[in-house]
Structures are given as structure tokens and as C-alpha cells.
Structure 1
Amino acid sequence: MEVKYIYRIDDIHPAMMWSRFERVMAMFQQRGVVPLLGVIPDNQDESLQFDPPREDFHQIMRTLVAEKRAEIAQHGYRHLYTTRQQSVNQRLYGRVSSSEFAGLPYETQYQMIRDGQAMLRAQGLESDIWMAPSHTSDDNTFRALKKLGFRYVTDGVAVYPYRHHGLIFVPQQNWQSQKPFPVGVFTICLHLDDLEEAAMKEIEDHLKTNDVMVPFSQVASLPRQWYHGPLNSLFKLKRVIYHRGVRPLRAMKHQSVVDQER
């Protein structure tokens, strides 16, 4: 089976880099690519303030969704980091990142996610897809997401989607368009502040290839026979060997076993 690619753009909010956003969206539209946009419900992260905030931001997002030029994910709440915690992905590599959610009590995370969800809902942008800032979530995050009606997470180290905590994870493994595996579903994560000329050229070149690029929703609804647990485990092993060297086999336990829920 051929490799399928999803493009996602993080940190979408009223004061983002509008010129880069419009340029990359025009490239996608020309090639019929539907990206997943991670919308921050109430951005308070000053490091992401680039342009004057657009008052028509939510209308633009609604139009993109209505015209099927983009899909929407909830990208955290305020994008403010308060803890340092290993995420689901980072446990494999031994890294630790700042997090908006991971490490906080369940009740706190539930309220934050619920408040962000309500803000997007009020703007006609509610989504059942979760995109965590810095890819950092923990078990309390997943419990809260499930309770609040989320169905999908754009994250995880795997080669095909898998089930964990009653949610479907569509893995996010790449920040550029190299072919890391001969089969599977690979999400390419973009940040507007990184999209300088070289990065734009790389995206443009990739869009001209014969690679199959699909919307997030198409992959999330794949038939269950596409959920290949052994391939997911093999891909994790490949990534760990690359990043950290060989580890004890017991450390490679596949924590997101296909079709099993906690």
C-alpha cells in the first residue's frame, strides 16, 4: 500500500503570519490539498503575535471549512506553557518539553479543554480533533478529551492510526516531506514562523510529486483492516534505534495497542 500524507499547520490564530498563511494555503488549493489547521481558541502566547489581529479571522476559518479547503482541530486552549513533561511521543526518545496540559490535574485540564471547546463552538468552529501544543498530552488529557466528545488526536509515533484511551490517533511523525517508511500514513507538521523560502520551496516541490496527499478526515475513517499493529511497533523500534540506540525490549511495549481501550 502506498504512503499517504497529511499536512497540518499549527498555531492558527488572529495574529499569525498572514502572508505566509495565505501563500501556503494558495499552494495547497492549487494542488487540491486539504490541510488540518490547528486553531488556538484564545491565544495568549506573545511569542506567536506576528501581525495585527484580524477581526474577520473566524469568518475566514468558517469559509475555508465550508468550501472544503481546510479542516479544523482544537489546538490547546491559550498556548501558555505551565509544566515540563514527557509526552506520549517523547517517552520513546527520552526528551522533555514544556506543556500547556501534561502534568496538570484532570479537573484543571478538563476545564481548560472545555473552555476552549466552548469558544470555538461559539464561532461555529467546533472540532472533535485534538492537536496538543508541543505534542504534549498525558493520560488526564486523554480522559478529558474522551469525556468532552473528542474522537481523534493528531499525534503519536506509528505508521498507521491506532486506538488509545478510546480515541483514534492519526500519527504525526514528520516536519518535512522525506519518505521515512515504504507504507503508512504520515502527517507533516508545519509552523508558519518556520516557512521561509527554502521551506516553501520544499513544500512546493513535494506537492508536484505523485505522492498521495489526503485530508485528515479521510485517514481517520479508514476501514479497520488498515490498522496494522505490527507495523506500528516496527516503526517505533526504527525511531528509537535512530534517536537513542537499541533499548531493552521491555521498554518497547506498544502502549497504544490496536483495538484495545483502557
Structure 2
Amino acid sequence: MAKYMIRLDDFCPTNNLKKWEPFFSLFDEFNIKPIIAVIPSNTDPKLMSCGTYNVNYWPTVRYLSSLGYAIGMHGYEHHYQSKNSGLLKINNRSEFAGLPYRMQEKKIRSATAIFKAEGVPVFCFVAPAHSFDHNTLKALRHQSPVRVISDGVLNKPYKKSGFNWIPAQLSEAVWQSTGTWTFNFHPETCSEKTFDDLRKFVEKYHRDFVQPQELSYKPYTWFDSVREFWLIQSRVFIDALKYFLRSTLSATKPHTVN
């Protein structure tokens, strides 16, 4: 039987909270404890334009934590500084991947200090755009107490590189026969249909949701390594094929003369 979790990304002081409230109401109704990816010092201009500044941002984060929500360190500033897709090859933009270790170390140290000053315990690390590298992991080991990574493509939680990994595989609620699955949503851009589909799924399968803090982790095996490599490279190939087809179709499309 499959197990499910939910992760919400991009919680920051300038959220449009009306887009987040339906999620929180759903969680309260069915006693679901999600991962909330909290940005400690947001400078992302897109997120800064979503709503008015929330002077109660950190009290709200502390309140969510008190409900049993797992708080994730969602980077430091959510400011993309490279086009490196990192270990998982999902998005070619990153706040961390490809940057020198000292720069990443400073970001993790600064983020850790903010959460500590605000009295918010951090359960896991959530890289913006799913993009991070080995230097990010090294910085987390040296500059923070965080030992859980919310990311990955396998269908089970596992231990690897000194961290516990909770894969974040899906951007919509989809039934699975086995495994442990994280549904990853961005409330600021989530459509009404996507949320309605989530609500219907939760209504039907809410007993199959688990708390991130209660997970057990299995050792990362050679088979996991092969499967992970295959899953990542398959996606890279599919993305490259889609890009090639779009470029080809664009090049062969007839141009009209005005």
C-alpha cells in the first residue's frame, strides 16, 4: 500500500495568503501534516509581488510548526544565481548548484541563523528549483543541524551521503500502488482544478497520508543507484527530445509576409 505526503513551496512574507488558506483548511480537516518550504530571507522579485508584506510572517511560521507541520529550509533568498541543474537535473536554474563552496556555506549559515533566531526548528532542506550539488550537502553538514533532504526521484525514503532523503516526485495527486510519494505544490501558482483534484484525492485516501517526521529510511543500495541514474537520465533525454521537436517545428513553420 502506498503512503503519501504533501509539500508546499515558497512560503515567504509576501505570499497571497488567500491562495494558501484552502490548503491549510484541507490539512486541518483531515489532520494532514505537510512539509512547508519556508524562505528565510526572500529576495525573489516574483514572490515579492504576490501580496502585501505580512508583519506576522515568523509568528505564522511558528504557529504552523506548533501544529506539527514539518518546516523546510527553502534555500536562503530564493534567488537563482546559476543555470546549473545540480544532482537531479530537473531545472536549469539554482540558488546553490555550481556555486563555490564558500558561497554556499555562507547561504546555509545565514539561513540557519535566521531560523534559530526566530525559534523555528527546521526538519529538512528544500532546494529551490530542486537544484543543489555535493557542495550544498557539505555546507548543510558543516553549517546546520539539518540531516533530511526533501527531494529525489526514488519511490521510498532512504539514507545516502549522511542524510535521510524524502523523495519529492509528483506535482499533482496521483494514486500509486506502492511506495512513498510526495505531492509538491506551489500555492501561488496552483490552479483551482489542481487543488480540487487534490481535495478529492485527500477525501478518498486521507488515511494513507503520513507525517514526514514519522518516516523510516532504508539504506541506499546499488540497485537504487542504478534506478536513480536511469530515472534522471531518462528525464534528461525526454526534455532534450521535447526541446528538439519544439525547435524543429518552429524552424519549419511557414512565415507569413505582411
Q: Deviations over 1:131-157 (max 9, x none)?
A: 000000001001111112221000011
Q: Describe how 1:158-237 pairs up with structure 2 within 5 A.
A: 158-179=154-175, 181-210=176-205, 212-219=208-215, 222=216, 224=218, 230=223, 233-234=226-227, 237=230
Report the alpha carbon displacement of residue 228 of structure 1 after superposing the two structures with TM. Answer: 7.0
Q: Is the 8 A contact 1:79 1:100 kept in 2?
A: yes
The answer as to 2:151 corresponding to 1:155 is: yes
TM-score (norm 1): 0.82
Distance 2:59 2:136 in 1: 29
Residue identity in the other structure for 1:170: I
Report the alpha carbon displacement of residue 243 of structure 1 after superposing the two structures with TM. Answer: 6.4
Q: Deviations over 1:153-186 (max 9, x none)?
A: 000111112222211111111001113x531111
Q: Is the 8 A contact 2:157 2:218 kept in 1?
A: no
Match of 2:34 in 1: 35
Distance 1:244 1:223, change over 3 A: closer
SS at match of 2:205: coil
Distance 1:99 1:142 in 2: 14
User: How much is the aligned-residue C-alpha RMSD, in angstroms?
Assistant: 2.1
Distance 2:63 2:235 in 1: 42
The answer as to 2:121 corresponding to 1:122 is: no
Distance 1:59 1:17 in 2: 17
Distance 1:105 1:173 in 2: 28
Report the alpha carbon displacement of residue 229 of structure 1 after superposing the two structures with TM. Answer: 6.3
TM-score (norm 2): 0.84
Q: Is the 8 A contact 1:6 1:186 kept in 2?
A: yes
Match of 1:136 in 2: 131
Q: Deviations over 1:214-253 (max 9, x none)?
A: 121112xx1648x7764675476467557637xxxxxxxx
Match of 1:256 in 2: none
Match of 1:87 in 2: 86
Match of 2:58 in 1: 58
Match of 1:111 in 2: 106
Q: Is the 8 A contact 1:85 1:99 kept in 2?
A: yes
Residue identity in the other structure for 2:153: V
Q: Is the 8 A contact 1:157 1:236 kept in 2?
A: no
Match of 1:20 in 2: 19
Match of 1:258 in 2: none
**Count of paired positions:** 235
Q: Describe how 1:220-259 pairs up with structure 2 within 5 A.
A: 222=216, 224=218, 230=223, 233-234=226-227, 237=230, 241=234, 244=237
Distance 2:103 2:235 in 1: 36
Identity of matched residues, %: 26
Residue identity in the other structure for 1:60: T
Structure 1 moving runs of 4+ over 6 Å = none
Distance 1:162 1:29 in 2: 28
Structure 1 unaligned spans of 5+: 246-262
Match of 1:259 in 2: none
Match of 2:253 in 1: none
Match of 1:101 in 2: 96
